[in-house]
Amino acid sequence: MELALPFLLLALLASPSLAHANGNGSNTTTYIVFMDPARMPAVHRTPAHWHAAHLESLSIDPSRHLLYSYSAAAHGFAAALLPGHLPLLRGSPEVLQVVPDEVFQLHTTRSPEFLGLLTPAYQPAIGNLEAATHDVVIGVLDTGVWPESPSFAGGNLPPPPARWKGVCEAGVDFPPSLCGRKLVGARSFSRGLHAANGGAIGVGKRTFRSARDRDGHGTHTATTAAGAVVANASLLGYATGTARGMAPGARVAAYKVCWPEGCLGSDILAGIDAAVADGVGVLSLSLGGGSAPYFRDTVAVGAFGAAAAGVFVSCSAGNSGPSGATVSNSAPWVATVGAGTLDRDFPAYVTLPTGVRLPGVSLYAGPSPSPRPAMLPLLYGGGRDNASKLCLSGTLDPAAVRGKIVLCDRGVNARVEKGAVVKAAGGAGMILANTAASGEELVADSHLLPAVAVGRMVGDKIREYAARGRGGGRPMAMLSFGGTVLGVRPSPVVAAFSSRGPNTVVPEILKPDMIGPGVNILAAWTGVAGPTGLAKDGRRTHFNIISGTSMSCPHISGVAALMKAAHPDWSPAAIKSALMTTAYTVDNTNSSLRDAADGSLANAFAYGAGHVDPQKALSPGLVYDISTNDYAAFLCSLNYSAPHIQVITKTSNVSCPKKFRPGDLNYPSFSVVFNQKSKPVQRFRRELTNVGPATSVYNVKVISPESVAVTVTPAKLTFKKAGQKLRYHVTFASKAGQSHAKPDFGWISWVNDEHVVRSPVAYTWKM
């Protein structure tokens, strides 16, 4: 498995417990304690007061142990506890659940044009929305922000909306005056990490104890969502043009919850809690959520509270593709976003002595390997063992490497770290070659030395040449760089790293929901880190180009801000429905979307409903809406206990319907799980709300595989007024035998002359 850089979205690093030493040297562990708000005595002024008093009643000193109190997105607190404290809390009737804190890691100009936001036909709609987005605040939970970036300039914006309650916290190198009309809030949360690390944060690294961004990831995601318009933006000359966020008129509030050691669940929940209380309209979280039951998933619990308050929550799907069943952040109340490519590329080439010119990509912007284009010796395995083929630290022999182009296999360590290893050993350049694990996916990097990344097939040709050359002559190669190219075909393509379904927490909910641009994305960057993020990278740039579902997530966050501005009365579920049912699944060659891993046709486990289309999403015709009560019924269908449901919903009086199944949630997609022995037929119900013309008639269109018979009743929906809701039922009957192991896919669409309201259907069989 390849280790990603800090600015790439990683999967959850689940840590069952985080032990640390408190000030007295006693070993404590951080836990999140969920409380029953119905049991709060009236004598307490606030939940925080009650939480502290409850600890005192159990002889637990809150001044030493209490870290956070939560009340907006969740009910409970985080505390650093001794082993003897746990039975006291778990035996308390006021306590619903006690769970150990967990460590999460971050998952990592052209996109507005690519999404159609700058096309002439769309400009009138955007112009009308520009003023309306001024009232939308996007809360970004990440590594903080670099406030001096021109992407945070807000001189032409009016004052923040009157309902906004956020603040700009003073901290190290971060006076409150750095906030303004674009960046309207900045807070940092580190008590959980501080407790877990015995008070140490960012050991050996320059770390700001404030909302200031040392890493760059948070600045990049925040400005992708809502960065101001900046002319002549580029990364060292690459991707030159005008940089702008998806919703340049929206406001940004930064909640720094991630530090060099990672992001603690207790800090993340504190950030969500504060953001909801501050009044954000959209939350963007480019970090992983694992695959735990929702009542044990900190992000899922906090996101439910945010969604119940009307906040749209966008989360990254993860960077663990192309393997299946890897998607994270799978709760149905969040928008789970995978990654696709843009129609922009950064070509580079490897030329062999035979004249063969092999394609790759690169963001290298320094001098050439030699004063003029020339062949240089090529080396593969410049060390004592096979580890040198991976170019791991300490594996290359400088005597063998000096002055040569080194061929490195992708994997294990970070891509840019390989380049640093080659440079440190005296290498003149690097060819980074994919193996079967990465397939044909190409991700450009701003390496410290001349370097070209190539796909597996090209890599195999170079590997074969390098091995053959040893016996028949000295292997040679030449590197060259082609700058920035637009109009790449085909695009979009599903990124190979983008995590895939099926959903391992609840297979009946199809995830991811959609994909957005997430490969080679240009956005603002920190002022204290180079584009590689490596300590030895002394270059500084206002913008950087990076990749990951971390990048696709804020694209959707920004588009959601536009949607909230256009439809302020829509629920988060309605906005997500509009984004999903209008998404597209054909590329710019009018062919079905493909998978970058191997060039094969992609499916709904890779792209969900498809690639987001903001223009069409503004007018979806119909939406699948979901209420908080609907989500509660869904949680009941998972056989969660009453306390576990209350942890998520914060409501003690949930009434569980008897005949509600997970697949009955009014979701804009379907995931049908057949059990051939007991459930060869599945029946689902859905309800559509008319958000288009008052009088509208839709007819159903079904595309199904040969393995399944699909019946929709009724086949026609006739709406007579705006806001009207109509139900339909779908019966899925498996025609496949018990040996049918591969998943199948189809579509259910409601169609009229103006709209196509399309839902993907995934079929899986349990043996």
- Contacts of 568-573 with CB under 8 Å at 24 or more apart are 568/132, 568/135, 570/623, 570/691, 571/310, 571/625, 571/626, 571/627, 572/307, 572/310, 572/311, 572/312, 572/313, 572/333, 573/307, 573/333, 573/623, 573/624, 573/625, 573/626, 573/627, 573/666
pLDDT digits (tens, 9 = 90+) for 636-677: 999 999 999 999 999 988 889 988 999 999 999 999 999 867
Q: Which of 653, 505, 637, 640 is nearest to 97 (CA)?
A: 640
Confidence of residue 9 (pLDDT cuts 50, 70, 90): very low
Measured between alpha carbons, how far is 590 from 592 in angstroms, rounded to an integer?
Answer: 7
716 phi and psi, to 5 degrees?
A: -135, 135
Q: CA separation (Å) from 415 to 300, 444, 567?
A: 32, 10, 43
Q: Which of 141, 188, 170 is nearest to 329 (CA)?
A: 141
Query: 283, 139 in Cβ contact below 8 A?
Result: yes
Mean pLDDT lowest among 155-169, 209-223, 543-557, 729-743: 729-743
Q: CA separation (Å) from 213 to 51, 146, 207, 526, 555?
A: 32, 5, 8, 6, 20
Q: Which of 722, 721, 702, 720 is nearest to 712 (CA)?
A: 702
Query: 314, 334 in Cβ contact below 8 A?
Result: yes
Measured between alpha carbons, how far is 532 from 550 in angstroms, rounded to an integer?
Answer: 16
Confidence of residue 279 (pLDDT cuts 50, 70, 90): very high
pLDDT for position 566: 95
pLDDT digits (tens, 9 = 90+) for 673-707: 998 677 789 999 999 999 999 999 999 999 999 99
Which amino acid type is present at position 603? N
Confidence of residue 14 (pLDDT cuts 50, 70, 90): very low
Query: 517, 342 in Cβ contact below 8 A?
Result: yes
3-state SS, residue 187: strand
Q: Across the chain, what does the average pLDDT equal?
A: 91
Residue 369 has pLDDT above 70, yes or no: no
pLDDT for position 117: 59
pLDDT for position 527: 94
Confidence of residue 108 (pLDDT cuts 50, 70, 90): low
Q: CA separation (Å) from 142 to 40, 173, 425?
A: 33, 18, 35
Which residue(s) pair with 235 in the sheet? 238
Q: At what angle do helices 298-308 and 265-278 cross, to 10 degrees?
A: 10
Mean pLDDT lowest among 237-241, 437-441, 571-575: 437-441
Which residue(s) pair with 351 in the sheet? 357, 478
Q: What percent of the chain has pLDDT over 70?
A: 91
pLDDT for position 472: 59
512 phi and psi, to 5 degrees?
A: -70, 170
pLDDT digits (tens, 9 = 90+) for 474-495: 999 999 999 999 999 999 999 9
The residue count of the chain comes to 767
Measured between alpha carbons, how far is 670 from 407 in angstroms, rounded to an integer?
Answer: 45
Measured between alpha carbons, how far is 692 from 695 in angstroms, rounded to an integer?
Answer: 8
Residue 111 has pLDDT above 60, yes or no: no
Our answer to whether residue 550 is catalytic in this structure is: yes
CB within 8 A of 298, min separation 6: which ones? Answer: 32, 102, 104, 265, 266, 268, 269, 289
Which amino acid type is present at position 287? L
Q: Which of 27, 738, 743 is nearest to 325 (CA)?
A: 743
Which residue(s) pair with 254 in the sheet? 140, 186
Tokens 């002559």 map to which residue? 473
CA Rg, the chain, in Å?
26
Mean pLDDT lowest among 105-119, 312-326, 429-443, 666-680: 105-119
- Concatenated DSSP letters of 71-103: -SS-SEEEEEE-TTHHHHHHT-TTEEEEEE--E
Residue 7 has pLDDT above 50, yes or no: no
Query: 227, 243 in Cβ contact below 8 A?
Result: yes
- Following CA atoms 252, 254, 258, 263 in sequence, which dihedral angle do they give, to the nearest 10 degrees? -90
Confidence of residue 22 (pLDDT cuts 50, 70, 90): very low
- Burial of residue 605 (CB within 10 Å: 0-12, 13-18, 19+) is buried
pLDDT for position 766: 85
pLDDT for position 438: 82
Which amino acid type is present at position 688? L
Measured between alpha carbons, how far is 573 from 284 in angstroms, rounded to an integer?
Answer: 15
- Burial of residue 659 (CB within 10 Å: 0-12, 13-18, 19+) is exposed
Alpha-carbon 161 to chain mean position: 28
pLDDT for position 666: 98
3-state SS, residue 326: coil
Alpha-carbon 339 to chain mean position: 8
pLDDT for position 342: 94
Which amino acid type is present at position 22? N
Which amino acid type is present at position 299? V
Measured between alpha carbons, how far is 607 from 304 in angstroms, rounded to an integer?
Answer: 23
Longest dimension (CA), the chain: 87
pLDDT digits (tens, 9 = 90+) for 340-352: 999 999 999 999 9
287 phi and psi, to 5 degrees?
A: -145, 160
Q: Which of 252, 309, 259 is nearest to 284 (CA)?
A: 252
698-721 average pLDDT score:
97
Measured between alpha carbons, how far is 506 from 472 in angstroms, rounded to an integer?
Answer: 57
3-state SS, residue 540: coil
**Among the options 266, 499, 550, 577, which is catalytic?**
550
Q: Taking the model in full, what pTM does it have?
A: 0.94
Which residue(s) pair with 283 in the sheet? 139, 313
**Among the options 36, 101, 135, 142, which is catalytic?**
142
- Element (H or E) spanning 642, and its range? helix 642-649
pLDDT for position 654: 87
Angle CA(385)–CA(388)–CA(390) in degrees, nearest 5?
A: 130
pLDDT for position 469: 66
Which amino acid type is present at position 168? C
Which amino acid type is present at position 265? G
Measured between alpha carbons, how far is 554 from 518 in angstroms, rounded to an integer?
Answer: 9
Confidence of residue 27 (pLDDT cuts 50, 70, 90): confident
Confidence of residue 126 (pLDDT cuts 50, 70, 90): low
Mean pLDDT lowest among 105-114, 372-381, 499-508: 105-114
241 phi and psi, to 5 degrees?
A: 165, -160
pLDDT digits (tens, 9 = 90+) for 138-182: 999 999 999 999 999 998 899 999 999 999 999 999 999 999 999
pLDDT digits (tens, 9 = 90+) for 74-86: 999 999 999 999 9
**Among the options 51, 107, 194, 217, which is catalytic?**
217
Q: Which of 236, 243, 309 is nearest to 272 (CA)?
A: 309
CB within 8 A of 233, min separation 6: which ones? Answer: 109, 239, 240, 241, 242, 243, 522, 542, 543
